[in-house]
Chain A
């Protein structure tokens, strides 16, 4: 019991210090995205292409290594040395120096090498979820001033330029230019998980015929997509549709969304 007041003080200080340190992880910045309709490159069967998206709030930036570290500290079952293999393959978070630490230079980089299950769990821990493909595509159609810039060849070429760069080397930090909604880094930094990644097979209707193997090769079905000029978005779909929920890759991260019921804090 001796010296308990002093210990108490240190305790408080430590708590306060950590509380301040972890503020960014807790108070993630979500920006409101109004409802709207747009033409998706991914047709839903033989119906018109207009896809409606309900109002939502989206994380303005991808989830960072520092934010993911705060998450696994609170939910150690998602540490790379504790997660069941069912939910994350062996390369999960392998770029971290240890299971519960990151290098200083990684703090503001987007977290990559995370599985779909881990991304879902992170979003659930802040009362959010992964965006659906259509939600992601809708917000990612914007440039700095227009909500749908996809018809502009200059915009398309800028995005394609990113895909042409070789991957490898260090990831940049989050904080690119905001688009018309105030959302950053949808293009040019990492690819992102979506909630319905396992809905993105291309074949229009396979209920009663066809080779089931076609499901696995989106290249084979790519010609049935509606906007063949939008290669950048098609590549995302091709990549996502080839993944399993426990897979990780070195350039695949995520962000979360919430229903836009109230102003996010």
Chain B
């Protein structure tokens, strides 16, 4: 009994002394431990709509990071994602979603993302351009294995990569081949889309 009370005191005390819980591990029902949706990540899309990262669970998705004023690599990332989609037949393509999250927390507000979507004629029904805050950009990049840093002129050096997530948010494949399709990656996309259909 005394032991019990001491324990209770310990818990209570730690509870009181504890500071607000870090908002990292999101509560999750049956979410795999290695799902990227474990990250409690608030996003704002090109229409200014707020959404939780974990709300994207349930559908296979290509995810990448970019910034809209990027002169060379980022247009190529969009091109490469499109080339990958073109390898799919229509029935498969409609099941695949795309999420692009910006590194550039200063310049990429929803208006800038919207402007890019219009300029590149991006179908925002299936594709989402999104932003978050600087701390969460660092965390998302860490989860996705993306390296980046901002240069003094405001541009970014960054890993250019397409990452395939299955419906549960597990990384199924990644490709750093840019400017042409990567057959192994396209195969992985087909496999994940077919897999999703059987469940």
Provide the bound-state CA to CA distance between A116 and B141, in Å: 12
Q: Is the CB of A199 within 8 A of B24?
A: no
Taking a contact as CB atoms closer than 8 A, the residue among B9, B23, B39, B135 that contacts A14 in the complex is B9
Instruction: Answer whether residue B10 sits at the interface, using C-beta atoms and an 8 A cutoff.
Output: yes
Taking a contact as CB atoms closer than 8 A, the residue among B13, B33, B34 that contacts A18 in the complex is B13
24 contacts between A and B (CB under 8 A): A14-B13, A17-B9, A44-B149, A47-B151, A70-B14, A74-B18, A75-B18, A77-B21, A77-B25, A84-B28, A84-B38, A86-B33, A86-B36, A117-B139, A120-B22, A120-B139, A125-B19, A125-B20, A127-B19, A198-B138, A198-B141, A198-B142, A201-B149, A207-B73
B114 CB, nearest partner CB in chain A, Å = 24
Indicate with 1 or 0, residue by residue over A192-209, a CB within 8 angstroms of chain B CB atoms: 000111111101011110
Tell me the number of A-to-B contacts counted with CB atoms below 8 Å.
139
Most chain B C-beta atoms within 10 Å of own C-beta, residue among A83, A124, A205: A124
Residues in B whose Cβ lies below 8 Å from that of A1:
none
Chain B residue at minimal CB-CB distance from A82 = B25
Q: Which of B134-164 contact A (CB under 8 A)?
A: 135, 138-139, 141-143, 145-149, 151-153, 155, 157, 159-160
Most chain A C-beta atoms within 10 Å of own C-beta, residue among B36, B70, B138, B151: B138
Indicate with 1 or 0, residue by residue over A131-171, a CB within 8 angstroms of chain B CB atoms: 00000000000000000000000000000000000000000
Q: Is the CB of B22 within 8 A of A121?
A: yes
Do A22 and B5 form a contact, CB below 8 Å, given A45-B152, A84-B34? no
Residues in B whose Cβ lies below 8 Å from that of A199:
147-149
Instruction: Answer whether residue A91 sits at the interface, using C-beta atoms and an 8 A cutoff.
Output: no
Q: Is the CB of B22 within 8 A of A26?
A: no
Q: Is the interface of A mostly helix, strand, loop or mixed?
A: helix
Q: Is the CB of B2 within 8 A of A10?
A: yes
Provide the bound-state CA to CA distance between A207 and B178, in Å: 12
Do A45 and B151 form a contact, CB below 8 Å, given A124-B22, A245-B143? yes
A6 CB, nearest partner CB in chain B, Å = 10
Q: Is the CB of B33 within 8 A of A85?
A: yes
Provide the bound-state CA to CA distance between A195 and B142, in Å: 10
Give the interface residue-count category, chain A: 35 or more
Q: Is the CB of A117 within 8 A of B152?
A: no
Residues in B whose Cβ lies below 8 Å from that of A83:
25
B142 CB, nearest partner CB in chain A, Å = 3
Instruction: Given A117-B142, A121-B24, output 7 extra A-B contacts at Cβ < 8 Å.
Output: A11-B5, A18-B13, A78-B25, A84-B25, A84-B33, A125-B21, A245-B142
Instruction: Answer whether residue B71 sits at the interface, using C-beta atoms and an 8 A cutoff.
Output: yes
Q: Is the CB of A18 within 8 A of B14?
A: yes
Chain B residue at minimal CB-CB distance from A195 = B138
Residues in A whose Cβ lies below 8 Å from that of B13:
14-15, 18-19, 22
Provide the bound-state CA to CA distance between A120 and B138, in Å: 11
A30 CB, nearest partner CB in chain B, Å = 14
Chain B residue at minimal CB-CB distance from A10 = B5
Do A212 and B176 form a contact, CB below 8 Å, given A18-B13, A125-B21? yes
